[in-house]
Amino acid sequence: MIYPPGKGKSGPFLMQLWRDYLEQYADREGDVEAQTVVAANHAVEILTSLSRTLDRHDRYSKLIDQRHLIFREGSRRARNHEDRILNATFSIYNSLNTLSHQFTEGNPESSALIAKVDEQVHLSTKSGKPIEMSAGALRACFPLLGLISIALDQNQVMTGAIRQLEQRFAAGSAAAATEWEHLLNALYRIVEILQIVALLTDSELADQINQIATRFKEEDQTRDPALKVRNGFCRLFELGHLLVTHVDAIAGA
């Protein structure tokens, strides 16, 4: 596990967030569900931090604050594991919805796709079942990260890798027999495409990205779905933290 030093404007906050993650995770040793929620909630916090870092002119500040408040209130009200995962997954979706607008601002085609994805997410909420809604929220995250990766890949050096992940996402969706399998497929593809996003941000992050990817692969050896879900959310937070720490350092340079 990497301990990235925070050198930018938000450095102290990011370092404290990392410490909190490690401490809360360790405090819940032996409770896989609780550790999963710790990782998922920290993923929300780090993606929210990325939006704030990128929002230099405060165009999205009210939206970011509103969505973060909804997440905090949802965390307070959640009464069981499925409620907590539902709150985290929808908050991750909301964060990536904001980020996709930030990365593709001024592109009408991207705006139309973002709106279409959002419509599909709202339709998924009509199922009334937390796991179905959580799976729907994470499935919607993948195309949003795809948009972000394409926006960053101006020289199209990652086009093949992005297309390959899109194919894996589609194949996994077709093969999934349960909503938990849908959720896991989406979560894993999100982690994989976030590796591309981080690499496109700065190729010098490759070694650190590879360390997280190796841990991701190692912890995927289990057949226990709960451990796989925990693995996905942990790596999502760690990649997000690496990315935000680097972007924050660049912004403060």
Residues, the chain: 253
Look at residue 1 and tell me if it is in a domain.
no
Rounded CA-CA distance 33/30 in Å is 9
Please report the pLDDT score of residue 10 as a whole number.
87
Which pLDDT score, from 0 to 100, does residue 249 have?
A: 84
Measured in whole angstroms, the distance separating CA 249 from the mean position of its chain's CA atoms is 20
At 9 the pLDDT is: 84
Q: Terminal CA-to-CA distance of the chain, rounded, Å? A: 26
Q: What are phi and psi of 106, to 5 degrees?
A: 90, 0
In this predicted structure, the answer to whether residue 183 has a pLDDT above a threshold of 90 is yes
Task: Give the pLDDT score at 122.
Answer: 86
Task: Answer yes or no: is 2 within a domain.
Answer: no
Q: Are 182 and 135 in contact (CB under 8 A)?
A: yes
SS (H, E, C) 216-236: HHHCCCCCCHHHHHHHHHHHH
Mean pLDDT of 214-240: 98
pLDDT by residue (tens digit) across 50-101? 999 999 999 999 999 999 999 999 999 999 999 999 999 999 999 999 999 9
15 within some domain: yes
- Within a domain: residue 84? yes
Given a cut of 90, whether residue 253 has pLDDT beyond it is no
At 87-124, the pLDDT tens digits run: 999 999 999 999 999 999 989 999 999 999 999 898 87
Does 5 reside within a domain? no
CA–CA dist 26, 198 (Å, integer)? 27
Query: Does residue 62 lie in a domain region?
Result: yes
18: in domain: yes
Please give the residue range of the domain that contains residue 109. 11-252
Residues 6+ apart with CB under 8 A from 60: 51, 98, 101, 102
Question: In this predicted structure, what is the pLDDT of residue 88?
Answer: 99
Tell me what the mean pLDDT of segment 23-35 comes to: 98
Which amino acid is it at 8?
G
What's residue 123's pLDDT? 84
Nearest alpha carbon to residue 193 among 161, 156, 227: 161
- The residue among 169, 86, 191 whose CA lies nearest residue 132 is 86
177 within a domain of the structure (yes/no): yes
pLDDT score recorded for residue 1: 37
5: left (phi over 0), alpha (psi -120 to 50) or beta: beta
In this predicted structure, the answer to whether residue 12 has a pLDDT above a threshold of 70 is yes
* DSSP 3-state of 89: helix
> What are the distances in angstroms from CA 138 to CA 7, 16, 165, 191?
31, 27, 15, 11
Condensed to tens digits (0 to 9), the pLDDT of residues 129-182 reads 899 999 999 999 999 999 999 999 999 999 999 999 999 999 999 999 999 999
Residue 7 CB neighbours (<10 A): 16
Number of domains comprising the chain: 1
Q: Which pLDDT does position 2 carry in this prediction?
A: 40
- Cβ distance 68 to 95 under 8 Å? no
